[in-house]
Amino acid sequence: MNSNFTLAIHSLTLLALKPDSMSSSKAIAESACVHPVRIRNVLSLLRKHGFIESKEGTGGGFIFTLNPAKVTLWDIYKATSEGALQPKCPEANEECIVGANMKNVLFSIFIGAEEHLGEYLKKYTIKDVVEFVNNEPEKY
């Protein structure tokens, strides 16, 4: 699974915990232990999909604009990782009936798999994740 997806969940969870102030990419990056530029790239996708707003300049950063209870993991998946389930099969041998057709067959199957996965991911919202994090035994 694409790690943009989990980074997006991580970031939105942090933002949901600080709904009243901007969080910088540096602060989020320190929580997730990745480079701030990577956070900005992922959050740029989320901004383009309207989940968050960003502000440049001093005191700027990112802030959650939607209700975390309304944002499902499927919404996030679609924004950051759509198609990630598809296997990148190498070009097979067109001279063979299996090689020639396997790609299309697998493509159809994995399209269905992604839709099916969607039904599962729709059950979880960022609010749920925030609650899970708060209720974990080894909490902060």
- Please report, as ranges, the residues that interact with a second copy according to CB under 8 A: 1-3, 5-6, 9-10, 13-14, 17, 30-34, 73, 85-93, 95-102, 104-106, 108-110, 112-113, 116-117, 119-121, 124, 129, 132-134, 136, 138-140
Buried b (16+ CB within 10 A) or exposed e, 58-71: eeebbbbebebeeb
Interstrand relation of 52-55 and 61-64 (parallel, antiparallel or unpaired): antiparallel
**Scanning residues 83 to 112, which ones bind DNA (CB under 7 A)?**
88, 90
- Residue 4 in the binding site for DNA (CB under 7 A): yes
Burial per residue of 95-106, b for 16 or more beta-carbon CB atoms within 10 angstroms, e otherwise: eeeeeeeeeeee
Q: Is 26 in the site for DNA (CB under 7 A)?
A: yes
Select from a second copy, DNA, none the partner in contact with residue 116, using the beta carbon and a kind-dependent cut-off of 5 to 8 Å. a second copy
N-terminal to C-terminal alpha carbon distance within the chain:
27
Q: Which is nearer to a second copy, 65 or 134 (CB)?
A: 134
d(CA 49, CA 25): 18
Interface residue list for DNA (CB under 7 A) = 2-4, 24-26, 33-38, 40-41, 43-44, 47, 54-62, 88, 90
